[in-house]
Amino acid sequence: METIYKKRGRIGLWIAIALLLLTFVSNEMLAQDTVIAVEASAEDAPDTVGELAMGLNTVWMLLAAMLVFFMQPGFALVEAGFTRVKNTANILMKNFMDFTLGSLLYWFIGFGLMFGAGGFVGMPHFFDLSFMESDLPIEGFLVFQTVFCATAATIVSGAMAERTKFSMYIVYTIFISVVIYPISGHWTWGGGWLMNGEEGSFMMDLFGTTFHDFAGSTIVHSVGGWVALVGAAILGPRIGKYGKDGKSKAIPGHNLTLAALGVFILWFGWFGFNPGSQLAAATEADANAISHVFLTTNLAACAGGFFAVLVSWLKYGKPSLSLTLNGVLAGLVGITAGCDAVSPTGAVAIGAICGAVMIFAVDFIDRVLKIDDPVGASSVHGVCGLLGTVLTGLFSISEGVFYGHGFGFLGAQTFGAVVVGLWAAGAGFVIFKAIDMIHGLRVPARIEEEGLDIYEHGESSYN
């Protein structure tokens, strides 16, 4: 009996050892399978952090595009408020056409001309967006660029308000959206020669640096401003603007409340215009850059408005609301080129200079050049766009003259602003002259005197 028990005990011991070995082997195999599965899943799994970063950057870009789009009603209200009641529907209608027609044309061909491969101009793409590679969704980038194109086009409507045929307005808006803006945009944001930093490039050989326009003082605002100035000159002044002695007569706008609301809307939209041009918000560096641009943008606007008050008070004996409104816009336009590159103190200086210079520019264009610009668009956007771009060459922390970096960057800024301005003014002159000779830009005198609303659109904004 004892022998049987010993045999059973040894058998049980071997069974226990076998079970332990089996368990150990199974655990080892399971561990190896788990490692293999983890490695495989790591290889196959998407880059969650990268996708999150791209999603955040995309949302930021599209949010900024929404803010810039909201500038369209801002421009509409400013232009309507600064002009007479009989032309309000015409003003509003033109601002709708800027965006509706401009968006279609820019999607169709303008985007390709601006960002496609090419020297003087990019290759047209005709609806096909596959020509461009981007870290962001290409369709979202198209929308972001579209709202900037619409801004350049709508600037022109204010300077030529109250006497332009609506049909001809549509014609020259087409040329701005598919010719003037995309070509100069290709030279700059499209990777063209003004921003080509490769060794041996034209700008590097001449200045040792490239042109810098972070959000569009020159590329957007100055282009619109110079086209507006040329168009207003060819169109001629409104009836009654200048007396027989040649002296300018004020033609007050019908509603400064609307104009003030429009400026507040534009100011708000500019926080998409400038900070949005960072095009990224996912990293700490992006967050710091966006915050810095927000601050410099706001400080320049405040300085522009405040110094416009001071100068208008000293010059005319009264603190003018209309000039203050344009002073805020002048500061915003001026800081747009270097909002990423200047210090807060530099932003205040740029805004103050632009706000003060704008008043003298309005006076010079009106009284000396005899060009009738009802809203001051050419002064605010043309003059201050150029001025702000040049001042970036002085106040840039990394390249500016005032920070001991020499005159190369200042030369590049001046050269780029002048070249783009000459392109915009020259192309605008050819287009407006051709339209005027072929069909006529201006409405008949009777329509101008009685108002464009009824004759051009068959309705009035106020009944």
Two tokens, residue 243: 């007396």
What pLDDT shows up at residue 236? Answer: 95
What pLDDT shows up at residue 1? Answer: 47
Give 248's strand partners.
242
User: Apex CA 384: angle with CA 383 and CA 390, to 5°?
Assistant: 95
Please provide the distance, in angstroms rounded to a whole number, between the alpha carbons at the two ends of the chain: 121
Q: Which residues 6+ apart lie within 8 Å of 269 measured at CB? A: 67, 68, 69, 70, 71, 74
Distance CA 108, CA 100 (A): 13
What pLDDT shows up at residue 18? Answer: 54
**Residue type (1 letter), 254:** H
Question: Do 401 and 408 contact (CB within 8 A), yes or no?
Answer: no
**Residue type (1 letter), 23:** T
What pLDDT shows up at residue 30? Answer: 46
Q: How long, in residues, is the chain?
A: 463
Distance CA 384, CA 389 (A): 8
CA distances to 122, 127, 186, 214 from 139, in Å:
18, 11, 18, 21
Question: Do 162 and 153 contact (CB within 8 A), yes or no?
Answer: no
Q: What is the DSSP string of 232-291?
A: HHHH-PPTTSB-TT--B-----S-HHHHHHHHHHHHHHHHHHTGGGG---SSHHHHHHHH
Question: Do 183 and 223 contact (CB within 8 A), yes or no?
Answer: no
Cα–Cα nearest to 304, from 361, 359, 351: 351
Distance CA 270, CA 330 (A): 12
Question: Do 429 and 375 contact (CB within 8 A), yes or no?
Answer: no
Two tokens, residue 313: 């008070």
Residue 164: helix, strand or coil by DSSP? Answer: strand
Question: Do 374 and 83 contact (CB within 8 A), yes or no?
Answer: yes
**Residue type (1 letter), 231:** G
Cα–Cα nearest to 301, from 267, 278, 273, 342: 267
Q: Note the maximum CA span of the chain.
A: 141
**What are the boundaries of each domain within the chain?**
1-45, 53-457
Phi, psi of 442 (to 5 degrees): -100, 145
Q: How does pLDDT run along the chain (463 residues), one tens digit per residue?
A: 445 445 555 555 555 555 555 454 455 444 455 444 444 444 554 568 778 889 999 999 999 999 999 999 999 999 999 999 999 999 999 999 999 999 999 999 999 999 988 888 988 888 888 888 888 899 999 999 999 999 999 999 999 999 999 999 999 999 999 999 999 999 999 999 999 999 999 999 999 999 999 999 999 999 999 999 999 999 999 999 999 888 999 999 999 999 999 999 999 999 999 999 999 999 999 999 999 999 999 999 999 999 999 999 999 999 999 999 999 999 999 999 999 999 999 999 999 999 999 999 999 999 999 999 999 999 999 999 999 999 999 999 999 999 999 999 999 999 999 999 999 999 999 999 999 999 999 999 999 999 999 999 999 999 8
Which homologous superfamily does the CATH classification assign to the domain defined by 53-457? Ammonium transporter AmtB like domains (1.10.3430.10)
Q: What is the DSSP string of 84-137?
A: -GGGHHHHHHHHHHHHHHHHHHIIIIIHHHHHSS-SSSPPP-TT--TT---SS-
Two tokens, residue 433: 């002259």
Distance CA 88, CA 72 (A): 15
**Residue type (1 letter), 261:** L
CA dihedral 407, 412, 416, 418 (to 10 degrees): 30
